[in-house]
């Protein structure tokens, strides 16, 4: 077994940090997406039954409103700073029109945040991980390890 140099240790630590960051964000994004989606689907029906106001079923529209506003930002060609506020504006308008309870806005925020984590942050972390894996010192050490294993057998 070839002893790793300090450069290899540093590269390995960078790989572990990048992998942990990517996996953690993927877990948080998926968990937030699951909870927010279930809440967006189930709570309008629960509110309609509890309050007896059957117009609360239309609160289920918070899901497409949040997703479409986030997708609109991602696929827009305008690189303005103000486009970051589009989901919040859509959510404020939706909450004003629907007369939903104030806490219902957190469902829309959760959907928007999970979309942001999964479709904006995660690809950047994947690039960071690939960059860490391309470290020449780490690649040379891995190649030497493979050659040593091959010569043993």
- Residue-level pLDDT at 16: 94
Sign (positive/negative) of CA torsion 120, 125, 130, 134? positive
Q: Which residue has the tokens 């509890």?
A: 50
Mean pLDDT taken over the chain: 89
pLDDT at residue 75 tops 80: no
pLDDT at residue 1 tops 70: no
Residues belonging to the chain:
153
Span 90-149, pLDDT tens digits: 899 999 998 889 999 999 999 999 998 999 899 999 999 999 999 888 888 888 888 888
Overall pTM surpassing 0.85 (yes/no): no
- Residue-level pLDDT at 83: 76
Q: Which stretch of 24-33, 68-77, 99-108 has the lowest confidence by average pLDDT? A: 68-77
Q: What ranges do the domains of the chain cover?
A: 6-143
pLDDT at residue 18 tops 90: yes
120: tokens are 């904006």
Q: Do 8 and 105 meet the contact criterion of CB atoms below 8 Å apart? A: no
């Amino acid at each position: 077994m070839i002893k790793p140099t300090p450069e290899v240790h540093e590269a390995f630590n960078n790989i572990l940090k990048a992998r942990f960051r990517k996996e953690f964000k993927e877990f948080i994004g998926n968990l937030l997406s699951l909870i927010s989606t279930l809440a967006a689907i189930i709570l309008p029906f629960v509110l309609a039954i509890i309050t007896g106001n059957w117009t609360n079923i239309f609160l289920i529209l918070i899901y497409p409103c949040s997703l479409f506003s986030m997708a609109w930002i991602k696929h827009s060609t305008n690189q303005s700073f103000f486009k970051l506020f589009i989901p919040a504006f859509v959510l404020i308008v939706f909450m004003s029109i629907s007369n939903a309870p104030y806490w219902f806005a957190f469902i829309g925020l959760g959907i928007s945040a999970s979309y942001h984590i999964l479709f904006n942050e995660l690809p950047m972390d994947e690039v960071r991980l690939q960059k860490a894996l391309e470290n020449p010192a780490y690649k040379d050490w891995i190649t030497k390890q493979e050659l040593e294993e091959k010569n043993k057998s």
